[in-house]
Amino acid sequence: MNCSIAINLFENLASATNEYFDATDKLANLVGQHEEFAKEKRHAESMRERCRAARLALDLHWSEHGRRETSC
């Protein structure tokens, strides 16, 4: 990818995806610990939304350029 906007959007998506994975992993380890589980569930849900928003931004950028090629 030569488009700096697409690169930044992709890096944001990668970061959000990693944070979402970490949050869901931590959530899975808190099953049975009600208060901590509820707190981490809220965090995981916000990371999921961040991931969705990052993906939408990248898809929108690509659709504006009509392709997923190496340059915009």
Confirm whether 41 is domain-assigned.
yes
What pLDDT does 20 receive?
Answer: 94
| Sequence-separated (6 or more) residues with CB below 8 Å from residue 31 | 37
Q: Are 9 and 58 in contact (CB under 8 A)?
A: yes
Q: Is 72 helix (H, G, I), strand (E, B) or coil?
A: coil
Confirm whether 13 is domain-assigned.
yes
Confirm whether 70 is domain-assigned.
no
Domain that holds residue 16: 4-65
Is the pTM for the entire model greater than 0.85? Answer: no
What pLDDT does 3 receive?
Answer: 84
Instruction: Count the domains in the chain.
Output: 1
Confirm whether 18 is domain-assigned.
yes
| pLDDT above 90: percentage of residues in the chain | 65
Confirm whether 72 is domain-assigned.
no
